[in-house]
Amino acid sequence: MTADGRIPGPGGPANAPLPAASPPPAAGQLAPDGEWLRVHPASPFVRGWLALVAIGFFFGRDIFERSLQGRPVFEEGLAGRAPFLLAGGGTVLLLTVLGFVLTWYFTKYQVSGGYVRVNTGFLFRQQRQARLDRVQAIDIVQPLLARIFGLAELRFEVADAGESAVRLAYLKIDEARQLRATILARAAGVDLGPEGAGEAAPEAPELPVLAVPPSRLVGSLLLSEQSFFVALGAVVSVVLSAVTDNQGFYLYLIPAALGLAASYWNLFNKGYNFTAAISPDGIRLRYGLLDTQAQTLPPGRIQALKITQPPLWRPFGWYRMQVNVAGYGLAENAGEGTSRTTLLPVGKLEDVMGMLALVLPDPGTDQPAAVFGAGLTGLDSEGGFVTTPRRARLLAPLGWRRNGFTATGTALLIRSGRWWRELVVVPHQRTQSMALHQGPLARRFGVADLVLHTTAGPVTPRLAQADSHEALALFDAQSARARLARKRQTTEQWLRQVAPAGIEPQPGAVEPAPGAVEPAPAAAEPGPVVQPAESPAHDQQEGRQHG
């Protein structure tokens, strides 16, 4: 940005002013490259309606109360100052509305040259941009007020973004869906051809995969870990009150009950009407009661996956799935970040296997049901897992038979937990770096921990208490698998990788067959480590770290 507040245009000189914004293109048409467009005129009012409510409350509360009580609106002493009060309130309201209008006027967006750009601010100018081939996910968010006006916000997530890299708020819902489909098509490497350069890509077809019933969602909340601990705290409070004859222990239950109710409502609101579908542009997730959200995760952008089963869910066969996606793990709102990294809030075993098939189309094994089933419920060496040696059972009396790992041709599987079962799946090409940890007690028993580093998120891949020699061998083998897998696969132009050779993928032309997903290229088996001449920029060198 220059000293006079101007932002250099793409490829233009630093003193060139921003191009004037144009009206939205007609339906089915794209704006020419380099042309700037404006968001919907109602956008600043949808974002700033709380400011208008606060102004009205501040200036109108006293008048409203006096009118209800039948008292004069203005006392005798205030009657002479009434015009000044009304003028002051009107001035504040006018300045607020003017600020909204200026905010809208100076907010422009552009899709050009492989980038999506958004300019904001009339006093302090700011431009945010994201490369289309680096877009990790695109979300359509509709708060309650935006749904009333038929508007939606587009969020573009890229790697290593502390918050959403680019936000477009707000567009008409049809325009938002059309723009998302076009950007996903370009990011996937779809060639529209010269005749279709000005046409918007049609939204790709989708195949519904699963839907979470509201009754199951409510049951999972009532049987969650927090419910267990709140119930345990209530029992302890009752016992202490009876033993000490002090009723003050019941007071501790009030904040716990309020916090539990707020947490329940947030989880129910975020998980209500949860549906998942598969389409050529990725995995589509929709959920929300008051504020709805539609996510699109392109294939291969998920860095790690975790499947958990709390003890109270075991009789019902329920599981939860969470993922690490670049940009999601550093969400500015903790509750929002949790919902956006949830791939399945609660589901049965068949739902879990179906979602696994979407995330990892090629399991890398001829017996995926046996291997992944052993990861979820197995013990000892079932499914080819290597577990904690028997000599170290004192370090994990309950979990040593569960703690273990196995590797398929495409992913590393790490399981843990006897009561709170957990299975972590990390595709080989998503292994960014690794570290070995071994404290004095672990050294005494001849075991070590292997930690895999991925993007920030709810999944922390850690193999606990593995035999030292096996952990070291896994370190070397996984380093080789990761390097070879990254040489064969990249995140850019992902649709070109799954399309048949010699056929140019077309938008909306890939219809997934029921129960099947286009297979990804299989990762190479571990072999000699060959360092490529030019490693991808996002690859990190693995190094051994001993604690």
pLDDT in tens, 500-519: 333 333 333 333 333 333 33
Q: Say if 515 falls within a structural domain.
A: no
Q: Which of 268, 290, 313 is the last residue of a domain?
A: 268
Residue in the block written with tokens 């404006």: 38
pLDDT, position 277? 92
Which strands, in side-by-side order, build the sheet including 302-309? 342-347, 319-325, 302-309, 421-427, 411-416, 404-407, 386-387
Question: Is the same domain home to 305 and 256?
Answer: no
Q: Say if 220 falls within a structural domain.
A: yes
Q: Say if 256 falls within a structural domain.
A: yes
- Pick the more confident residue, 345 or 62: 345
Give residue-wise pLDDT tens across range 219-244. 999 898 888 887 887 788 778 777 77
Question: Is the same domain home to 80 and 217?
Answer: no
Q: Which of 268, 286, 309 is the last residue of a domain?
A: 268
- Pick the more confident residue, 31 or 180: 180
pLDDT, position 545? 43
Question: Is the same domain home to 453 and 547?
Answer: yes
Question: Is the same domain home to 264 and 308?
Answer: no
pLDDT, position 126? 84
Q: Name the residue among 100, 95, 125, 113 with its Cα closest to residue 18.
A: 125
**Minimum mean pLDDT among 60-69, 143-152, 372-381, 449-458: which range?**
60-69
The answer to whether the CB of 168 falls within 8 A of the CB of 180 is no
pLDDT, position 77? 53
**Minimum mean pLDDT among 51-65, 101-115, 392-406: which range?**
51-65
Identify the band that residue 189 occupies on the pLDDT scale cut at 50, 70 and 90.
low
DSSP states of 504-538: ---TT---PPTT--PPPPPPPPS------SS--TT
DSSP states of 407-423: E-SSEEEEEE-SSSEEE
Give residue-wise pLDDT tens across range 143-166. 888 888 889 998 887 765 555 567
Q: Say if 508 falls within a structural domain.
A: no
The answer to whether the CB of 425 falls within 8 A of the CB of 304 is yes
User: Would you say residue 13 has pLDDT above 50?
Assistant: no
Across 289-308, average pLDDT: 86
**Minimum mean pLDDT among 4-8, 121-125, 415-419: which range?**
4-8
Question: Is the same domain home to 472 and 531?
Answer: yes
Angstrom distance (rounded) from CA 337 to CA 495: 27
> Residues of the chain with pLDDT > 70: what percent?
71
pLDDT, position 46? 83
DSSP states of 266-317: HHHHHHTT-EEEEETTEEEEEE-SSSEEEEEE-TT-EEEEEEEE-GGGGGGT
Q: Say if 28 falls within a structural domain.
A: no
pLDDT, position 492? 47
pLDDT, position 163? 55
Q: Say if 66 falls within a structural domain.
A: yes
Question: Is the same domain home to 329 and 386?
Answer: yes
Q: What contacts 469, CB < 8 A, 6 or more positions away?
A: none
The amino acid at 212: V
Question: Is the same domain home to 233 and 313?
Answer: no
Q: What contacts 125, CB < 8 A, 6 or more positions away?
A: 1, 5, 6, 7, 106, 119
Q: Name the residue among 90, 235, 111, 123 with its Cα closest to residue 180.
A: 111
The answer to whether the CB of 260 falls within 8 A of the CB of 188 is no
Question: Is the same domain home to 464 and 537?
Answer: yes
The answer to whether the CB of 328 falls within 8 A of the CB of 343 is no
Question: Is the same domain home to 264 and 311?
Answer: no
Rounded to the nearest angstrom, the gap between the alpha carbon of residue 309 and the centroid of all alpha carbons in its chain is 21
- Pick the more confident residue, 289 or 79: 289
Question: Is the same domain home to 350 and 438?
Answer: yes
Q: Say if 474 falls within a structural domain.
A: yes
Q: Say if 531 falls within a structural domain.
A: yes
pLDDT, position 138? 82
Angstrom distance (rounded) from CA 153 to CA 141: 5
> Residues of the chain with pLDDT > 90: what percent?
31
The answer to whether the CB of 442 falls within 8 A of the CB of 391 is no
Across 470-494, average pLDDT: 82
| Number of domains observed in the structure of the chain | 3
Mean pLDDT score of the chain, rounded to an integer? 76
Question: Is the same domain home to 245 and 330?
Answer: no
The answer to whether the CB of 355 falls within 8 A of the CB of 484 is no
Angstrom distance (rounded) from CA 540 to CA 524: 19
Q: Which of 74, 106, 138 is the last residue of a domain?
A: 106
Identify the band that residue 248 occupies on the pLDDT scale cut at 50, 70 and 90.
low
- For CA atoms 360, 364, 368, 371, give the dihedral sign: negative
- Residue range of the domain that includes 218: 213-268
pLDDT, position 82? 62
Question: Is the same domain home to 254 and 327?
Answer: no
